[in-house]
Amino acid sequence: MDIFGKIKEKLSNEFIDIVEWLDYTDDTIAHRFERYQNEIKNGAKLIVREGQTAVFVNEGQLADVFTPGTYELTTQNLPILATLKGWKYGFNSPFKAEVYFVNTHLFTDEKWGTKSPITLSDERFGLVEIRAFGTYAFRISDAGKFIIDIVGTDNNFTNYEINEHLKSLIATRFTDTVGEANLPIELYAANTSELSETCKEVMGPEFESVGISLEKFYIENVSMPEDLKKEIFEYSRIDKLDLDKLTKFKTAKAIEAAAKNEGGTAGAGMGMGMGFVLAQQMGGLMNPQMGTAPQVQQTNAAVPPPMPVAVQYFYAVNGAQQGPVSFEQLQALFAGRTINRDSLVWKQGMDNWTPLKEVAELKSFLGGNTPPPLPNS
């Protein structure tokens, strides 16, 4: 073989004749195939494995895209590149082109979360703050669009790089979605499945615009400050209770506690009262047994006065009139923070609506009422 033949053979061996990418990592999304100062040989073999897509780019312009399979690189298999290169009648010499291999398998268990609290307006609790976090899964659906719009000239584009962009997109769209949902604050944590589906539908087109398919989206937790949780729990319990039954129950418990306090004045009075009632009941039982005739009821017995009418109160919540309720029910509403010291109340006999703190008999709700000392005997 003459010297020119040896030079031609040497140059031929330097040209790339097999184009493939063996991915041994789990985080690489796009990899640019290249070898220093080497060109791709005419008729070279292109091997695209399952879970990959090969993208040819010529001087920044998207050319041909290959799905899994084995190809011989000729003008028939590279129609767009042949047009860009001006190969009207085929080519016989090596050519240069950027070849990107894109990983199209499903990327799972990607984390997302709100970097700062989201402020929402609730009709009962006012402005509140929540945080949320969860996971999502995606895959590359349009390799050509993804290479041109996202990867650019990066020779090894990793999962970490795209995740920063996607997490910012998710946080923004999640904030918009929960703001428009306008749910009561306690329902965000109770409806994570429905909210996840809604967020996925809202975010899907944003992902597709850069060649990415959002396959799954999950909200794992919606959290709020502890003091707000406590208020929500108290409100929910009061909302489910029958206030009239609750008032009677608390009154009975208070009487029981007073009766046990034998050392106090209230306990003594309660004990005497219960003693008189018990004596009357026992007397009525014992008289027949002792043979004494039951006392004849007087026809002109004194008639007790009518029972006093309980005072009924009306109160205002968010500018709407509520009620009427009894004194004890109003006290329970104050304890449950449905109303406060500045809430407007009204009862029969009052000229105008008045703040609770200015109504004499309701000041006991505010605490700090101490009776004066007993006079010296």
Chain segment 173-218, per-residue pLDDT in tens: 888 888 787 777 777 777 788 889 989 999 999 999 999 999 999 9
Write down the pLDDT at residue 245: 62
Share of the chain above pLDDT 90, in %: 22
| Residue 249 parent element (H or E) | helix 243-260
pLDDT confidence band for 270 (50 / 70 / 90)? very low
Write down the pLDDT at residue 274: 46
Write down the pLDDT at residue 233: 66
Instruction: Give the separation between CA 355 and CA 338, rounded to whole angstroms.
Output: 14
Residue 295 has pLDDT above 70, yes or no: no
Write down the pLDDT at residue 38: 60
Write down the pLDDT at residue 134: 92
Which of residues 280 and 112 earns the better pLDDT score?
Answer: 112
pLDDT confidence band for 318 (50 / 70 / 90)? confident
Write down the pLDDT at residue 282: 45
Most confident of 29-38, 166-175, 261-270: 166-175
- Which pTM was predicted? 0.55
> In the chain, what's the furthest Cα-to-Cα distance?
151
Residue 352 has pLDDT above 80, yes or no: yes
Q: What is the mean pLDDT of residues 29-38?
A: 76
Quick check: helix, strand or coil at residue 90? strand
Residue 360 has pLDDT above 70, yes or no: yes
**Closest-CA residue to 73 (of 101, 43, 97):** 43
Instruction: Give the separation between CA 317 and CA 196, rounded to whole angstroms.
Output: 33
**Closest-CA residue to 208 (of 135, 110, 138):** 138
pLDDT in tens, 228-256: 777 766 666 665 555 566 566 667 777 77
Instruction: Give the separation between CA 142 and CA 269, rounded to whole angstroms.
Output: 86
Instruction: Give the separation between CA 340 and CA 327, rounded to whole angstroms.
Output: 15
pLDDT in tens, 84-126: 887 766 777 778 888 999 999 999 889 999 888 888 887 777 7
Contact 114, 132 (CB under 8 A): yes
- What is the set of domains in the chain, with CATH numbers? 3-103 (no CATH), 107-224 (3.30.479.30), 241-257+311-367 (3.30.1490.40)
Phi/psi-derived region of residue 308, left when phi > 0, alpha when psi is between -120 and 50, beta in every other case: beta
Question: Token pair 């004066």 is at which residue?
Answer: 372
Write down the pLDDT at residue 281: 47
Write down the pLDDT at residue 292: 47
Write down the pLDDT at residue 50: 92
Write down the pLDDT at residue 250: 66
Write down the pLDDT at residue 152: 84
Write down the pLDDT at residue 3: 53
Whole-number mean pLDDT of the chain?
Answer: 78
Instruction: Give the separation between CA 30 and CA 102, rounded to whole angstroms.
Output: 4
